[in-house]
Amino acid sequence: MPLPVFVCGLIALVIRFAHLSLTIDNPLRYQPAPDEDFYLTFAAALVSGDASHAIYGFMDPLYGYVVWALGGDRFGITITQILLDSATTSGIALLALRWHSQSASWIAGLGYALSAVAVMYTGAVLKAPWVAAMLTLWLGIACRAWRDGSPGSWIVLGILGGVAAALRSNLIALNLLMLCVLLREGMRNQFSPTQRPLVWRRPMWLLAGLLPVMIALGMHHYETTQRFSPLPVNGGIVLHQIYNSDNPDARQFAPAFVSNPHPREIWYGYSAEAERRAARPLTPGEVDAYWRLEALRYIAHEPLNVARNMTRKFLELFGASERPNNLSINDERRFSTVLRWLPDSVGLWTALALAGLWTLRRRPDARVIAIPVVVVFSTFIMFYAESRFRFHLLPISCALSGVALAEAWIRLRAGAWASSLRLIAPPSLLSIIVSAMPSLSAAPLVDWERIAQGYVNMNQTEPARLALESWEAEQGQTGDMLRIRAMVHYRTGNLGAAIDDNRAAIRLNRQDSTAWFNLALALDSNGDKRGALDAAEAAAGINPSPRNRLLWATALEFAGRQAEAGAIYQDILADNGETATPIERQHALDGLQRMRNGPDNATH
């Protein structure tokens, strides 16, 4: 094994384990981000033997199966992702070595090994390190297939492209772009009559590996959404989240009919609103198609605004500023000494990657190397301009940057300083200028909600109280802050304060179903059964999710209104997996069983 490949992988391994050992008490680990909670719930559904719920067709499925295979254990997932990310580090060091030189290999490997963002994602139940590893592996196999041209290499690449699409649906574009490159290559006239048939067979071999995986993926989605497609039913909804009249800047956005940014609540809110507008039940595919059409209408009506936002998002690719999505490097650095000492230079690496592509432009496989760059750039520009989606390219960006910097050093040593500057200066200046633009570099707000909620989940009342005080001092009093403060009061037995803060949160946002839910719990514990019943009914009326309806049904049950409670329990069970998860359906069954056993069993 080449020295930089081994050493960089080892350094990455040591740094990531050091980060893990120093963040055991990180409150952010005790309050899963929305997507983390989704995948943990998906894994639990797989354990229960029922993952046919429509929500499990809303997100890409493969990572959910990975979490399930690892037992849904956060520590085991983190260890696996540390090993995976260390292997990715070695992989990109090897790519840079093959493309250019040992110097490029050292720069690429160390650049990724020491990236604070890469280290951060190894500790999250998110697929970001898997997508980064998949892109690196796909590119390595693609370059090999292009070089040796063997049927086996192209078939393996097709299989890998299908697996990549199961991991993240936008990666299906890897296969489409590779087919375009192969077809263009086949139409060139420089091949001899004996070579031409071999050239045209390459796309056939690629498809031979790809199609079985696409069929299997389509069957999975049909099981959950009744639509045979290799893609999940989230494309139209995601498109509408970005392209609608209430989101003129095309930022991360949730409309008023979505209660919170959890994938499940996004699906539930969009599905319910589409059915309300259509005045009839809709299949998941029909829901997705409805919102896709709405988004396309907006794009057609506001083409200049769409173009302006895409231009801004293109520039944001190269900036130092962070647009958090589920995780924030600034928040994570509060609880990790390792992250505080490591650089966050994703924007600069991304800019220098363009110089690396230029350096490699004369290679026979130059178009192949550009494919992952085009896919990630396009996704970022067209959809979410968030840090997590830029990170997916970071290993390849480091490899290409290593090539550019090593080439610049060679030119500089040869006395061609002007050529060296022409290669490195433009992308570097681009990153510096974008990072300095106030409109593109606003610092994100601290996610005090997750921090405070994490401390609550850790039963650490005093740190939670201090986090809430910092939240109020920095961002003012909000409904979310009052709701979590009410939870702290509830946990410490101060029921009066819990009730007051929940009511204050509701006054600020009467559509906060979680505040109504928590108010019901506090009132019930305080002996106000009637008030608890009314609050539970309000929560279910605002957001008739299974969780809220179960609380309402339970309140009705213990209030002696057995028929009404039974009807709600039966309604949840009648969903047949369309809305309620297996765990929620089990709670409904438990409620019915309690009522069958008699009123003496219906006690708290």
State how far the Cα of 145 lies from the Cα of 108, in Å rounded to an integer.
23
pLDDT at 191 over 60: no
Q: What was the pLDDT predicted at 136?
A: 98
CA distance 582 to 590: 12
Rounded Cα–Cα distance for residues 49 and 131 (Å) = 27
Tell me the C-alpha distance between 223 and 166, whole Å: 15
pLDDT in tens, 25-46: 899 999 888 899 889 988 887 8
Beta bridge partners of 203: none
- How far apart CA 269 and CA 292 sit, in angstroms, is 15
- Residue 193, pLDDT score: 61
pLDDT at residue 440 greater than cutoff 70: no
Two structure tokens written together for 243: 């392209």
| Per-residue pLDDT, 293 | 96
**Of 307, 232, 211, whose CA–CA distance to 55 is shortest?**
232
Is pLDDT at 603 greater than 50 in this prediction? no
Q: Does residue 291 contact residue 240 with C-beta atoms inside 8 Å?
A: yes
For the cut 50, the answer to whether the pLDDT of residue 488 exceeds it is yes
What amino acid occupies position 113?
Answer: A
- When pLDDT is averaged across residues 444-457 and rounded to a whole number, the result is 89
Structure tokens at 288: 């997705």
Question: Domain spans of the chain?
Answer: 3-232+318-439, 453-601
The DSSP string of 192-241 is: -TTHHHHHHHHHHHHHHHHHHHHHHHHHHHHHHHS---SS-TTHHHHHHH
Q: What angle do CA 31, 36, 40 make, to 5 degrees?
A: 100
What was the pLDDT predicted at 157? 97
Round to whole Å and give the CA distance between 583 and 546: 10
Measuring CA to CA, which residue among 466, 465, 473, 470 is closest to residue 492? 465
Mean pLDDT confidence for 565-588:
75
Note whether 12 and 112 are within 8 A (CB). yes
Assigned CATH class of 453-601:
mainly alpha
Tens digits of per-residue pLDDT, 301-326?
999 999 999 999 999 999 888 788 88
Structure tokens given for 415? 């006395």
Residue 392's pLDDT band (cuts 50, 70, 90): very high
**What are the tokens at 504?**
């204050």
Q: Which whole number is the average pLDDT over 492-512?
A: 89
Instruction: Please report, rounded to a whole number, the percentage of residues in the chain having pLDDT higher than 70.
Output: 94
Q: How confident is the model at residue 574 (pLDDT cuts 50, 70, 90)?
A: confident
- pLDDT at res. 58: 80
Q: Residue 602: its pLDDT value, please?
A: 47
End-to-end CA distance of the chain: give it in Å, rounded.
Answer: 64
Out of 110-124, 246-260, 266-280, 427-441, give the one with best mean pLDDT: 110-124
Whether the CB-CB separation of 66 and 130 falls below 8 Å is answered with yes
Per the prediction, the chain carries an average pLDDT of: 89
What integer pLDDT is reported at residue 599 of this predicted model? 55
CA distances from 113 to 232, 328, 398 (A): 33, 19, 10
pLDDT confidence tier of residue 577, bands split at 50, 70 and 90: very low
